[in-house]
Structure 1
Amino acid sequence: MTSNPETLEPHGKLPTKGQWTTGLYDCWEDPSHCCFTWFCPCITFGQIAEIVDGGIISKSAACCIYTHGMSWLNGAIYRSKLRRLFSLPEEPYSDSFIHCCCCVCSLTQEFRELINRGINPSLGWEGNVEKWKREGVEPPIVPTMSR
């Protein structure tokens, strides 16, 4: 991954409601993150889960859940949550099939999706909230549950 998480640049096309910004097999759009996810999928999952849950779960807790549970099932659950946030289609396969057969492809696609929509999973939820306040922009997502 890059040395400065605030410098992650969007990959793929501009976000459109109801469409993924990158394909499932576009892992190599960010080769360093793809390799990182290959070796540490639990960390990438933790970063995604913290964002998708609006900071309700920490990336550390999510990482532990992914590592000690049925990772493909937890991955599929959070992929479904991410799809609901942005009204994304379940394609090209079901969430569970994608996470069962190719967790690296799915996790890197989900990570890129968040980046392309103005959210940097590496910063965590609070880091993104601070960044949005500093930049004076509306958050692209809001938590569905209050703390």
Structure 2
Amino acid sequence: MAEGGIQSRYVKLTKDQAPLDEEIRPGELNQPIQVPQLAVRKCNECGQPLPESFEPPGVEPWTTGIFGCAEDTESCWTGLFCPCVLFGRNVESLREDTPWTTPCICHAICVEGGIALATATAIFHGVDPRTSFLICEGLLFAWWMCGIYTGLARQSLQKKYHLKNSPCDPCMVHCCMHWCALCQEHREMQGRLSDNVVMPMTVVNPPPIQEMNASGDNQNSAPSSTNNVEHTNLEMQAL
């Protein structure tokens, strides 16, 4: 009984009446709930949700093979004697906000710098087993770093144009066939960029200006005797 003689509407359960088999364990109420509306596909690049009707683009093959260096002699000679310059041009074409000098310097530090350091070490310290081991270790490390750096650029090119791996992982391609990969990437971008494609132009000449003038001949402006309708002759002259 509550105070004032008013009966309480709440019933107090005893220990025997409480359900013992449905005890709530710690953390049971904090389990995640699966919401079907939130289970949507997202873009791997930007993370935005994709519609249900979205279909990923198909994988396209490379327009030229990796051993087709002779198809473009200019890029072939540039990649052979100045691979850092060719790599810088490729990155500049791939990323408009990156000048070609930045990747060119990074490539030169990894490859040309490693070769120059190994040559200087052999000249000043001679060639002995210990020095040879250090030279080979330094060259392999520099080549490995260059393969990773240039392979990331090749991977970005493949994602941009939906190209398949040719013939294997991008980093492995640059580690094994670095100069051929640079030339292939240059030919691929030169063939796909619309700025380098010359479109035929059609020249259309406008028609001559025409003018309508009323004739001042009094004889032609005489009234007709049959229907008394005044006729005015119009003459078109090309300027």
Q: Same fold (TM over 0.5)?
A: yes
- Larger helix percent: 1
TM-score normalised per structure 1: 0.66
| Matching residue within 66, 70, 90 for 1:28 | 70
TM-score normalised per structure 2: 0.42
Structure 1 residues without counterparts, runs of 5 or longer: 1-15, 120-127, 136-147
Following TM superposition, the consecutive aligned residue runs of length 4 or more in structure 1 with deviations greater than 6 angstroms are none
Residue 17 (structure 1) shift: 6.1
Query: Residue 63 of structure 1 corresponds to which residue in structure 2?
Result: 104
Query: In 1, distance between residues paired with 2:191 and 2:151?
Result: 20
Residue 94 (structure 1) shift: 1.3
Residue 31 (structure 1) shift: 2.2
1:4-62 Cα deviation digits (max 9, x unpaired):
xxxxxxxxxxxx96121001111111123212211111111001111212x22110011
- Larger strand percent: 2
Query: Residue 28 of structure 2 corresponds to which residue in structure 1?
Result: none
2:159 aligned with 1:118: no
Larger radius of gyration: 2
Q: Which amino acid aligns with 1:84?
A: K
1:45-98 Cα deviation digits (max 9, x unpaired):
001111212x22110011011122432221101000000000000121211111
Secondary structure of 1:18's partner? Answer: coil
2:179 aligned with 1:104: yes
Q: Which amino acid aligns with 1:30?
A: D
User: What is the root-mean-square deviation of aligned Cα atoms in Å?
Assistant: 2.2
2:130 aligned with 1:89: no
Query: In 2, distance between residues paired with 1:105 and 1:86?
Result: 19
1:123-144 Cα deviation digits (max 9, x unpaired):
xxxxx5xx79xx7xxxxxxxxx
Query: Residue 19 of structure 1 corresponds to which residue in structure 2?
Result: 61
Query: 1:52/1:31 Cα in 2 relative to 1: closer, same or farther (>3 Å)?
Result: same
Secondary structure of 1:90's partner? Answer: coil
2:132 aligned with 1:77: no
Q: Which amino acid aligns with 2:178?
A: C
Query: In 2, distance between residues paired with 1:33 and 1:59?
Result: 15
2:81 aligned with 1:39: yes
- Equivalenced residues, count: 108
Identity %, equivalent residues: 29
Secondary structure of 2:75's partner? Answer: helix
Which stretch of structure 1 is more off in the superposition, 73-82 or 24-33? Answer: 24-33
